[in-house]
A and B are shown apart, each in its own frame.
Chain A
Amino acid sequence: MGAIGDIFTMVLLDPMINFLIILNNVLFDNYGLAIIAFTIVVRVITFPLTMRQLNQTRAMQTLQPQIQQLQKKFTDPKRRQQEIMKAYKEAGINPLGCLGPMVLQFPVLIALFYAIRQTLAVSPEALSNLYGHVYDWHFLEASVPLSTNFLGMNMAESSLIMVVLVGGTTWIQTRTSQTVVTDDRARAQQQMMQWLLPVMFMFFTFSFPSGVALYWVVTTIVSIAFNIITYGLPILGIKPMTGAPVAQSSSLTNNMGSSDEASTTSDRKPRQHSTEARKPRDAKNRSKRKNRRRRN
């Protein structure tokens, strides 16, 4: 564990801390701007991984109606599992495929969070700890501790404004990432999460320095942007930029209203737009054609 921790610190955490200090110096000694720029830069660098994960998730969602049919059709668990795996395989989907990019992103996001927390140096002990992370370059060392004022807030202390912003952005992010589900239980779960997550994050934000909360707000806004790219935002007439089926997405559009509306939406059949989205049906057709040929 020690070696992993050392590698994590050397490869991710320390470069991030020093980059954050450089950004602070470049951006007029403004730590708030540095956090915003830093978060955006890191999220843009990890963009390909994020998109891969979102696309995989979306592809799996597209296949859900078929999976549900298989679940109803086969009572034997072993057979059911085999058929589901077969369906995934034919659609060219690896059910664990979305985990890879997520696992790769996690150390980066954790390091990002820690880097901000370390550079805030909220106590004398924290500033003392920062010493081991700052490179031995005078212009970096001479910059610490960073000035923590941003828009009248002390980034080292918690702030009610940031609590509200964290709650609001997390709620929007949850909505934009929610998918259409036909199962009542899953729908109820989804609706619970839509409120539970923002409330939990708000609760945590009360005990966090505003700098960390600012990071969370910015990273959530970036996530919302990625969700819109993937799923679109029909309420504003924005289509998925990666060819995602509109009705498969969360639809801030339809879900923004009452829960009844949400369930109506969920009952709609997805419109097929993209090649990727067509995959399951094509695969199904191919399978049918094959069977016909065999019978002939």
Chain B
Amino acid sequence: MSFIAILVLSAACVGFASPKGWSPPQFEDGNAFVFLDEGRLSALAFDETDNSRARELWRFPNDDVNPIEDDIDLKAVYAPPIFVTIEGEDFIILAAYSGDIVSITKDDGRYKPGLTGSWLINEGEIVGHAVVDEERLIFATTEGRLYVRNVKDAEKTVDPWPVDGKDLGAAIWASPIISDGVVITATMKGAVQAFSLETGLPVWDAPFKKDSAIAVLALINEDVLFVPGLGGIIDFIDVRSGQSIGQSFETEGWVWAEPLVKDGILYFGDFAGNLYALDITKGINVENQVWPPMFVGGKIKGKPVIIGQTLVLADEDATVHFIDIEKGIINYSFSLNDTSDIFASVVEYQGFAWIVSENGELFRADPEVNDVKEVSILKRSD
């Protein structure tokens, strides 16, 4: 009996959902920056004539090239890389689930401890994005701490923020939002709080509270915050007062995807596989839906993009949908067979939609011809 139990336990130990990350691809200076392997960022240069072919310029971490990177294990990254310039040098900041936040040089993707602007810190697991606002680096951890540091070295705190972070009492998975010198965060206990970056003091009279976890937070225009919960209720709150605006919006499944706003229409998906379109110019009201919730099939975790009149969306089941936003119909669905799940947001670049799967396969979707193609990547041998 015990032996069978050991077998079951050991099998289960291996098979459970381990963190892999779902960072979307980023494009900068004609190159793509993609996590092709778990916790390992690759810089890709496209073929000059065909952007469905690319070669790997560098990858990070890579202890074959830089032995010091042997100690760096990002484990899983859920946020896109951030591009910053510090004292004239370009850097990429990566915030990882392992707790490592590292700044590497953009040209060669290396961690250079002696160089101003290249640093490595570890303060706790990070699921959301780190944010750079002028000189400040802002990030929050699953331990419920909100940090504001100097982006130049990430060690020194920005006065009056404590060096060990502000304790917000519950895990933070959502990315912090910066608006007019105010940082807004949401906890997995359903509290949304706003603090002045200058004073560190609360800006609202009281935190906004809801009865479910908040895994994502987004600013949908200058004044309104989109606050979905894992309980399937979305609230909209005034960014200045923290008060609820309009009606709450009920969804069939959890909402854990950032929304897209285009021409006053708010598009977002839920875990039940529905895509919603809400005309927020007419007020935040259930009746202002542009079309009824559109069922696409798999869970929607990522943010869609709109190219021309087509909304491109990828669901967890690795199906890419081309949706006519005028008519509110699916023009075409392309199933990526033998591909791992897709959780990352879709990104637009050069008129194409770019999608990365959980296992790091990169796809290029062309809404003009309803086609999806896997990018052929020539990897470095080191």
Which residues of A are at the interface with B, using a C-beta cutoff of 8 A? 102, 106, 109-110, 113-114, 117, 122-129, 131, 136, 138, 141-142, 144-145, 170, 174, 193, 197, 200-201, 204, 207-208
A-B contact list, 27 entries, CB within 8 Å = A102-B1, A117-B16, A122-B16, A124-B19, A124-B22, A124-B78, A125-B17, A125-B19, A125-B20, A125-B343, A126-B16, A126-B17, A128-B271, A129-B17, A131-B299, A138-B232, A141-B230, A142-B211, A142-B213, A144-B213, A145-B171, A174-B2, A200-B6, A201-B6, A204-B9, A208-B9, A208-B13
Give the shortest distance, in Å, between A217 (CB) and chain B (any CB): 13
> Which B residues touch A208, using CB under 8 A?
9, 13
Assess whether A204 is in contact with B10, with CB atoms less than 8 Å apart: yes
In the complex, the chain B residue whose C-beta lies closest to that of A141 is B231
Question: Is B183's CB within 8 Å of the partner chain A?
Answer: no
Contact of A124 among B1, B173, B212, B271 (CB under 8 A): B173
New A-B contacts (19) at CB < 8 Å, excluding given A125-B20, A128-B301, A145-B188? A109-B5, A113-B12, A114-B12, A117-B12, A122-B16, A124-B19, A125-B18, A125-B343, A128-B316, A142-B229, A142-B231, A144-B213, A145-B171, A145-B230, A170-B2, A197-B2, A200-B6, A208-B9, A208-B13
Closest B residue, CB atoms, query A57? B1
User: Are A204 and B231 neighbours in the complex by a CB distance under 8 Å?
Assistant: no
Alpha-carbon separation in the docked complex, A11 to B215 (Å) = 30
**Bound complex: CA A141 to CA B270 (Å):** 14
Which of B188, B232, B343 is in CB contact (< 8 Å) with A141?
A: B232
- With both beta carbons as reference points, the residue of chain B lying nearest to A193 in the complex is identified as B2
Q: Is B256 an interface residue (CB 8 A)?
A: yes
Inter-chain CA distance A128–B18, complex, in Å, is 11
Question: Is B369 an interface residue when CB atoms closer than 8 A count as contact?
Answer: no
Q: Are A113 and B299 in contact (CB under 8 A)?
A: no
Residues of B close to A144: CB separation below 8 A: 213, 230
> Across the two chains, which residue of chain A brings its CB closest to B143?
A154
What is the interface size of chain B, counting residues whose CB is below 8 A from a CB of the partner?
42
> How long is the Cα–Cα vector from A170 to B13 in the complex, in angstroms?
19
Instruction: Find residues 17-69 in chain B having any chain A CB closer than 8 Å to their own CB.
Output: 17-20, 22
| Chain B: minimal CB distance from A24 (Å) | 14
Q: Using Cβ atoms and an 8 Å threshold, which residues of chain A touch B127?
A: 124
A225 to B188 CA separation, bound complex (whole angstroms): 39
How far, in angstroms, from A125 to B271 measured CA to CA in the complex?
Answer: 13
CB distance from A253 to the nearest CB of B (A): 22
Contacting pair B343 A128 (CB below 8 A): yes
Please tell me if the beta carbons of A128 and B231 are within 8 angstroms of each other in the complex.
no
Chain A, residue nearest B343 (CB): A128
Asked if B254 and A141 sit within 8 Å, CB to CB, the answer is yes
Enumerate chain B residues within 8 angstroms of A138, measured Cβ to Cβ. Answer: 231-233
- CA–CA, A174 and B213, complex, Å: 43
